[in-house]
Amino acid sequence: MDAPEAEESLSESRVGLTPRQARRIRIVLASVLMAAMALVLVVRLASRTSVLVVGVYGAALVLCGIVIELSRNGRTRLGSWLLGVGLAAALAADWLLLP
C-alpha cells in the first residue's frame, strides 16, 4: 500500500511547467520579441536607411519566426537557446556594424 503514497509524493514534489505551458510561453515570448524587433526596425529605418539595417533586423525577425515554429513542434529548449543567442548576436551586430 506504500506505492500509491509514493506516487502521490512524487507528483506533489514536481514543480514546474508542463510541456504545453512551456511551448505557449516560448511562443508568446518570441511573438512579443518579433513585434519589438519590427518596431526597432521601423525606428532605425526612419533615422537611417540602410540595407545593413534591414539585414540585421530582418534576420532577427526570421529568427523569431523560426523559434515560434520550433516551439510549436516541441523543441522549446532549442528554441530558447536559439532565441537568446540569435537576438544577442543581432544586438551585437547593431552595436558593432551600424553607425
pLDDT in tens, 77-89: 888 899 899 889 9
- Summarised one tens digit per residue, pLDDT across range 28-85 is 999 999 999 899 889 988 887 788 888 888 899 999 999 899 888 888 888 889 989 9
- Which of 55, 61, 67, 63 is closest to 86 using CA atoms? 63
Tell me the C-alpha distance between 3 and 98, whole Å. Answer: 63
pTM for the model: 0.73
| Torsion sign over Cα 74, 75, 81, 84 | negative
| Torsion sign over Cα 60, 64, 70, 71 | positive
